[in-house]
Each structure stands twice: as C-alpha cells, then as structure tokens.
Structure 1
C-alpha cells in the first residue's frame, strides 16, 4: 500500500472512512468548500493524504487544513491535520500519513489542537511537542443542564465508544426541541449578533485593528470569515457575536451547537474569543454565550483550546469552569520558534469549526418519533 495526496474522486471513499467511525460525512458541495479554502489555494497545499489499496481506493486518511496567519503585515501559513482515520486492519498507517503531513513545505508550523488520547503519544515520537506548553491538556466547560450531562456520562460508561453499526439502531440520544427551534437570543446591552462580514463592515474594521496588535494571529479577516461561515454541511450558521463600545466592535465570539456522538449531550462549542487589549469584551461575550446556551438546546458550554492569556482574560469565569481533558490535545512543530512565541490560539486556529459534529438534521424526526412513542406508552 502507498500514501498519496487526496483527489476529488476520493471523496466517496473518504465518506466511507468517516462513516466507519461514526463521524459526519460531507456532501459533494461540502468537500468542494473545504478544498476551496483560500489559504490552501494560495500555497498549493494538498487537501490531505490517503493510504490506498491495490485498486487505488482510500483505506486510511489524514486531512490537511491550511490556516493563513498575519504578523506585522506579513502573511504566514500553518498546517493543522484533521480527520485522521486509520481502521484497525491498517494499524500503523497513521505514522506514514502524519509523516507526509509533516514533510509538506511552505508552512511555519505543523500542529494539531484536537488530538485524541490514542494519538497524543504518537505525535511526540514524530517530533511534535505538547503545545501551548502550559495549557495543552486543558479544556473548560460550564454545565447548563446537569441531568443531561449526568445521563451522557452514564451512557458513555455503559457503551464506551459506540460502533457505527450500533449507532444505526440506537439513534441520537439526549436531544430536545430547542436544537431545531431555538429561542430568541438574550443579548445584554452592547452585545450584537453580527450578520455583516463584508470588508467595509464594523467586523472588517475590527479585524483591521486586531491584526495590527503585533502578535501572530490566524486570519479572521472578512474574506476568511465569509469562507468559514459558508460551510454547506452545517445545518445552522454558527453564531457570531460582537461587543460594541464607543460605537465600534472591541471583541467577537464565534460558537456553534454540536453533539460529539449519538450518546453525548449537545454542547455549545466556543470556537473563537477575541478582544482588543484594554476592553472587557472576552468575559462579557463568554457569559452571553453561557446565558443563551439553554435556549439553543445545549446542555453545556465548552472551550476546547486555551492559552494562559485567554485564561487570564476570562478571569472569574475560567475559575468557575469545570476542567476537562487530561491528555495533551495540542501538539506542534515550528520552523520558526520566534514567530510562534506570540501566538495565542483559540479553537478556530485548529480544526474545530469544520470537524465538530453538528446535530444531524434527521435527528429531529427521531426525536419526534420517540416523543410520540413515549406519549402513547404513558397513556396505555
């Protein structure tokens, strides 16, 4: 078997690999959207790599997400791997796939912010180090519905990892009507729902100011944000909030509702938190997301990638959160350590926006059917 780069005719095979581990599959438009990443096209990077059999069919895969960064007016590029899928019969294939990812030129960093407990040890053996150094194993969560979260922990203890075959018969658990019919947002004074991300919008001007702060930052400009928000496979547009002070945006938050697996409770995933220095945007925006989580159908709010700076800016809110994780989910190798020193990533810098598992649209029918069956049983 050999490793080669991903081609468009591999998409059905990539979907079969995703289905085999219970991960969401992409539509043809979704795969094309991912391939149209402006940053990837600028440097001509591969979409990823596959291990293929004798008939040239994908047997294992690793996706390649290119992020554009800005530092002192310069554009730099980083590569983060996503969807590393290696079936048991191809055990050992992760090493050549990750090595192909690490060998690609033209990027200042090869990294992941989303390693699972199994893969974490492999990254170290291939030359990546735990990063960010102080917070690579830390995730924060805020419980919204304790009963649903407890139910989810009991299901996970009972079933462990649910196979794709079992998922077909079990169906989605721990759902609620608000996932499809959310209540109106409750926004405090000075927080707005951002819909306009054109170049000349307040959002575009906010990015212009943010990018001039002298730190390395993943491109959140209007062009890249429009691309990020245009994922055709998301059943609902991610929530983009802004903090307005003195007539201008001083901070933004990006979040989406997700469901890690069929037996996990829904969560509101904070994808990004950004704020200009000297303003209170970050804690206020985080509190606003927590306040609105129940109305969006979430049982908890989660922030899966942190730095010491973000922890400090969250203040008391970080101290009140539950600590999750327990293994190093962040790993990186840098070609320029000095450049990386000023980087303070959030989940947006990784693969969370495109790899979080949204609540499947078909789950609404399952939920309604189960509610009807329960109602009939209670009347019998």
Structure 2
C-alpha cells in the first residue's frame, strides 16, 4: 500500500470517501479552512494521509488535526487523528495510516478522543493507551425530548448504520424548525453570550488567567478561537457562554447543535467547559445549556470527552446524566510522559468541533430530496 500526505487537489476525493460512509462532506472553503489552522501551519504538519491506488487517487484516508497547547509560557503541539475512512475493499489500510500519524514529529502527544468501536482496539495494538485512564469510555447525556430520542432508537434499530445509498432513500429525519431558527436564549443574570474573543476583551483576560494556572491546556487564545469559530460549513456559529462573577469572566462553555446521522435526533454537543480555580462556573454553565437545549432544537445534550476532575466538578448535574459509551473512545501516546498528568482534555482538545455533523440547512435538505426523488424515478 502506498501512503502519502494529503494535497489540496485530494479534497474532492476526500469528500467522496466521506459520502461513502454517510459522513458530512466539506465545501472547498471548508477544507481550506482546516488547512489554515494556525497550529498546523506553525509546525508545517501534514493535513493528513491517504492510501492511493496505481493512479495516485486516494482510496482511504486519515485526517490530522494539530492543536496548540500552553504550559507555563511554553508552547507545545499535539496531534489528533480524525476521519479514518477505509472502504471494505481496502481492509488493512487503517494500520499504515495510523502508523504514519504516529510517526509524525514535532508533537508531545498523538491521540484521539473520538475513536469508534471498530477502531478502538487497533489503537491499543499500535502502542496507544486508553486516555484519560478512568473516563476514556464515558459519555454523559441529558435527555431533553424523550419522544424524539425514542424515535431515533427505533430508526437506528430499523436501519442500523446508514450508507450513502440508504441516506438518499430515507431522507433526513427528526428535524424541527428551531434547529435553523433557534428561539431566544433564557440566560441567568450572571451568564452571558460571548461574541468578542479578542485579546483585549473580558474573554482575552479570562484566557490569560486560565493559561497561568499550571495545567497543560489547549490554546483558547484569540487567534485559535477566531479560527475555531470561523468554520464556513457550520450553519450557525458555535455558542460560547461565560459566567460573570464580581465583574469578571470566570468560566466558559462552548456548544454546538449537531445531528450524528440522518436518523439520529439532534443534539447539543458540549465542546468545552473551563473555569478559573475556585470559580463555581461549570455546573451553572452546564445547567444553562441543558435548560436552553430545547430552544436550540436539541433532543438531548451530550458531553463526549471528560476527565475525572471534570466529572467531580459537575457534581449533581453530572450525576443526573445518563452514562453512554461502552468502548474506549480516548487513546493517547505521549512523547513527553511527564506532561500526561498535567493535561485535562475536553472535547475541544479532540476533533469534535471539526467532525460533528452539522444540522443540514434547508437548501441541503431540498437538494437531498431532489436526489432521492430523481433516484426513485430512475429506478422505476
């Protein structure tokens, strides 16, 4: 098998691979946005790797998302793999793709926080270990609309994993008008929606205070946050909330609406929860997201990567959540083992903001409906 780095002219082929497994495709602007990641450009890391056929055409892939970290003024980089797509006819290609990912230099850790049940075992065989050790298989969820969640389970039981062909026959299910036109948020008086993430803003002051606390944290400064929030393929800017205490920002929560597949109910995905030492922000921000999830069109709220420390901080709101998961979706290999105890990852450290399937726009659903109708007529 021939493995090479992803090039810009591979983007259409990468979209075809995504479509083949029912995963969301990116616009060309979306792929260029990914490539323009400031952390990736800083160390000139590959955008990913592909297995190519005799004609140099990609037939399997693995994306490479670089995260910038800070620790006591030191700048570090970590690499998280995303979108491992290996068609059945290329069985065995996962190993060389993951090995290429693990062999890349310039990062303190190679990891995934979003492995599926099929790939989880392979990471262990290639030298990665479950991470975080106590919570790598845990997902928290809070049900908002039990009827929509029940219908989603029935659809999953009926259709299983939806292929591209099945997707056109089934069509997008379990949508509601609030997903594209959210209702007005009802926020506690000490919680605000944050739109300004510049260095001179209250958010910028919060980030500087957070980065001085001695933990190894993914860079949430102005440059990286502006890039993260500018994904051109999202129908809505992710929701960034902040807790105000004594006139200053002491905690933040980042969330986005998503639909895992055409047959899954919409969810509000918690991407990040952060707070300054001693601040009582995280439980309040989480409750605020849960209380506003229905207004945003979500049938449930999920937190898909967390640490024992975050679980303890959530307190009663965490104990009220349903436990999901069942396989190890977090795995890591550290080049600097001494850094492992200092890292407290949230979904932001992984690929969730990049890889969550956005809620399809009205135009996208009309186009899918036309394709489905055309397909039915052609087969008649």
TM tier relative to shorter chain: over 0.9
Query: Once superposed, what is the RMSD of the aligned Cα atoms?
Result: 1.2
Q: Which residue of 2 aligns with 1:271?
A: 271
Contact 2:140 2:318 in 1 (8 A): yes
- Normalised by the length of structure 2, the TM-score is 0.95
Q: Which residue of 1 aligns with 2:145?
A: 145
Q: Which residue of 1 aligns with 2:183?
A: 183
CA distance in 2, matches of 1:363, 1:346: 33
Q: Which residue of 2 aligns with 1:23?
A: 23
- 1:61-80 equivalences in 2 (<5 Å): 61-80=61-80
Q: Deviations over 1:228-280 (max 9, x none)?
A: 00000101100000001111100000000000000000000000000011111
**Post-superposition shift, 1:336?**
1.1
Q: Deviations over 1:71-116 (max 9, x none)?
A: 0100010000000000000000000000000000011100000000
Contact 1:198 1:204 in 2 (8 A): yes
**Post-superposition shift, 1:366?**
5.4
Q: Deviations over 1:42-93 (max 9, x none)?
A: 1110000000001110000000000000001000100000000000000000
Partner SS, residue 323 of structure 2: strand
Contact 2:254 2:271 in 1 (8 A): yes
Contact 1:180 1:364 in 2 (8 A): no
CA distance in 1, matches of 2:352, 2:313: 21
Query: Relative to structure 1, is the Cα distance of residues 234 and 112 closer, same or farther in structure 2, using a 3 angstrom cutoff?
Result: same
Q: Which residue of 2 aligns with 1:212?
A: 212
Contact 1:60 1:93 in 2 (8 A): yes
**Post-superposition shift, 1:364?**
7.7
Contact 1:172 1:363 in 2 (8 A): no
Query: Relative to structure 1, is the Cα distance of residues 127 and 261 closer, same or farther in structure 2, using a 3 angstrom cutoff?
Result: same
- 1:1-380 equivalences in 2 (<5 Å): 1-362=1-362
Contact 1:60 1:86 in 2 (8 A): yes
Contact 1:293 1:300 in 2 (8 A): yes
Query: Relative to structure 1, is the Cα distance of residues 28 and 363 closer, same or farther in structure 2, using a 3 angstrom cutoff?
Result: closer
**Post-superposition shift, 1:330?**
0.1
Contact 2:172 2:365 in 1 (8 A): no
Partner SS, residue 342 of structure 2: coil
Partner SS, residue 121 of structure 2: helix
Q: Which residue of 1 aligns with 2:372?
A: none
CA distance in 2, matches of 1:355, 1:30: 12
**Post-superposition shift, 1:169?**
1.5
Contact 1:171 1:366 in 2 (8 A): no
**Post-superposition shift, 1:363?**
6.7
Query: Relative to structure 1, is the Cα distance of residues 365 and 166 closer, same or farther in structure 2, using a 3 angstrom cutoff?
Result: closer
Residues matched between the structures, number: 368
**Post-superposition shift, 1:198?**
1.0
Partner SS, residue 141 of structure 1: strand
CA distance in 1, matches of 2:348, 2:85: 21
Query: Relative to structure 1, is the Cα distance of residues 150 and 13 closer, same or farther in structure 2, using a 3 angstrom cutoff?
Result: same
**Post-superposition shift, 1:362?**
3.4
Q: Which residue of 2 aligns with 1:375?
A: none
Partner SS, residue 132 of structure 1: coil
Q: Which residue of 2 aligns with 1:378?
A: none
Residues 324-333 or 337-346, more deviating:
337-346
Q: Following superposition, which runs of at least 4 residues in structure 1 exceed 3 angstroms of deviation? A: 362-367
Contact 2:139 2:325 in 1 (8 A): yes
Q: Which residue of 1 aligns with 2:378?
A: none
CA distance in 1, matches of 2:28, 2:13: 12
Q: Which runs of 5+ in 2 are unaligned?
A: 370-380
CA distance in 2, matches of 1:158, 1:233: 30
CA distance in 2, matches of 1:119, 1:323: 21
